[in-house]
Chains A and B, each alone.
Chain A
């Protein structure tokens, strides 16, 4: 009887292992940005419902990871909120196409028990919080622009990403634009050495959002969709034009509109001019090889990406609180994808 148990298990494993290729549809694997994850998980789900023979397995491991796994050729495509730079492209060893696929904003979310109003923060104050100069929620720098809000005497817990993250890049890019001190002391990057004394790292946008929700007094930067999905309060920020702007799809779109031409080498839209521009906005990119190794998968990959940047793919963006790519960027993206050898 015991033997039959073991035998049963063994048979199950063998049968499981052998029936596989028979059912095999084309499976594409992608990895990277957790900024993109809610959008991709929705879009690829819709896509595989329409095209049952193709599945796209996307794992949210951070932009740094996306580039790393793409360069190591462990995945078919990578997704990153920062295009690969010259050094990273050189490491890839063959021509890479970088395609903008999503537009989003990093909201500055917080957890302040007992405060129902939306907090306002100036650009300089955010820098000072992340530099560790503003340590309490009732600091005059915060109180000054939040009249009538009963700010608690509570230490600010800064939450940042522990993984290599494009969201971190966009956020630190914004901080560097605002403050020379940040630029020289810390800099812009997917992973930086965070100077604030009371800071906690968390994995992925998911992790940061989770950490903020569970830590009273916490503040952190999280992709807009995560904030809306979780009904988390997010600060209204002052933009370069001096206007107070909330992190909304419209204001992110306004920031994008301020710079109609984006390319893999000129992509930053943080701290954009314009009255409605949300200052912590950015594009997210998919990276693929111009000549993918496996021709059969190349065709499937081409189809998926063409769909994704086209109107029907982008129509999924709104439903998960992303901003559809501006039409001119959609066209540019399609043109880039057409360079793929398939």
Chain B
């Protein structure tokens, strides 16, 4: 590589230009976020009121109505997904942390990473194939199953890391006091790793809160207060999608309002996760 001699002044100016370009790119990415969020807030805030949050959708042409059933559905679908994902994810994380060497754990880590890259629509097809087609009906439960698959990779890898990061001395101390491995893990190591695991859980929940693609052929949607996970159910993200592509101005306004709710929920979850992680770090340092 031949470096031509150039005058320092030129090189400095070139560097300054480059720095400005880099700054511009960083600002552009941040500005894109602010533009999208700003637009969602401006368009959505007007349609948000108590009725919107608590009422059922109205039929076409009847003004008003809300997404109350979609909010409830979102909570139910994610609740069940969490109940399924936490045990599987945590156990796999414990396994990787405790027996973490060799071909099998490495394969498991690889599978977990692969799963994190699988498009959510393909996971939706899977949920349809195992839970909708054989049982002959759409259901919130099948959506929960798809969400569980989406939450697992994050839970597995983070819980593994969280458990590993518990200082070895803590474990050894517990064992030296005569605790069994089981008790040491469950009562000493896991509680220490808990903040990090909860952080991961919050992020995993944030990940699926706005997820829409798998819902198209699992949760399917409903216009009613559906609470039975064995039935098709309204989910907020799906309502936003359906309202967005509708031609009715009333529904489009509700799509923006619904999007605002989703964004707020996801941002609160992400911020909460960050704060929790920061506190946990501080706790570990002291």
Contact = CB atoms under 8 A, between A and B. Distances in A.
Give yes or no for direct A-B contact (beta carbon below 8 Å): yes
Given A72-B136, A73-B136, A41 B59 contact: yes
A339 interface: no
Contacts of B194: 2-3
A6 interface: yes
A12 B75 contact: yes
Nearest to A43: B59
Contacts of B79: 9-10, 12-14, 16-17
Interface stretch (B10-18, B39-47, B170-178, B219-227): B219-227
A29 interface: yes
Contacts of A209: 247
Interface in B99-154: 132-133, 136-138
A57 B132 CA distance: 17
A207 B242 CA distance: 9
Interface in A6-46: 6, 9-10, 12-14, 16-17, 19-21, 23-24, 27, 29, 31, 37-38, 41-42, 44-45
A55 interface: yes
Contacts of A29: 137-138, 220, 231-232
Contact of B198 (A2, A14, A24, A202): A2
Nearest to B83: A13
Contacts of B61: 38, 42, 229, 319-320
**Interface of A (DSSP majority class):** helix
A125 interface: no
Given A16-B76, A41-B223, A9 B82 contact: yes
B58 A16 contact: no
Contact of B82 (A13, A16, A48): A13
B245 interface: yes
Interface residues of B, number: 39
A28 to B, nearest CB: 10
B245 A24 contact: no
B247 A210 contact: yes
A200 to B, nearest CB: 13
Contacts of B83: 10, 13-14
Nearest to A207: B245
B248 A17 contact: no
Given A29-B231, A42-B60, A59-B220, A13 B80 contact: yes
**Interface of B (DSSP majority class):** loop
A62 interface: no
Interface string B66-86: 000000100110111011000
A89 to B, nearest CB: 19
A222 to B, nearest CB: 8
A57 B222 contact: yes
Contacts of B248: 206, 229-230
A74 interface: yes
B60 A203 contact: no
Instruction: Point out which of A6, A48, A230 has the most chain B C-beta atoms below 10 A from its C-beta.
Output: A6
A2 B137 CA distance: 37
Interface in B235-266: 242, 245-248
A74 B138 contact: yes
Contact of B221 (A12, A55, A59): A59
Given A45-B58, A206-B247, A213-B247, A16 B227 contact: yes
A58 interface: yes
A226 interface: yes
A204 interface: yes
Nearest to B133: A72
Given A6-B201, A57-B222, A204-B245, A37 B60 contact: yes
Nearest to A57: B222
A257 B76 CA distance: 50
A17 B223 contact: no
Interface in A83-133: none
Nearest to B241: A203
Nearest to A18: B227
Nearest to B233: A57
B245 A19 contact: no
B195 interface: yes
B229 interface: yes
Contacts of A20: 227-229
Contacts of B242: 206
A37 to B, nearest CB: 7
Contacts of B166: none
Contacts of A14: 79, 83
B245 A202 contact: yes
A59 B234 CA distance: 11
B276 interface: yes
Contact of B137 (A9, A58, A74, A213): A74
Interface of A: 2-3, 6, 9-10, 12-14, 16-17, 19-21, 23-24, 27, 29, 31, 37-38, 41-42, 44-45, 48, 55, 57-59, 72-75, 202-204, 206-207, 209-210, 213, 225-226, 229-230, 232, 319-320
In order of increasing CB-CB distance, the 10 nearest A-B pairs are: A13-B79, A209-B247, A41-B59, A20-B228, A206-B246, A38-B60, A45-B59, A20-B227, A210-B247, A73-B136
Given A14-B79, A45-B62, A210-B246, 18 more contacts: A2-B194, A10-B79, A13-B82, A16-B79, A20-B229, A23-B227, A38-B59, A41-B223, A42-B59, A44-B59, A57-B224, A57-B231, A59-B232, A75-B138, A204-B245, A206-B245, A226-B247, A229-B247
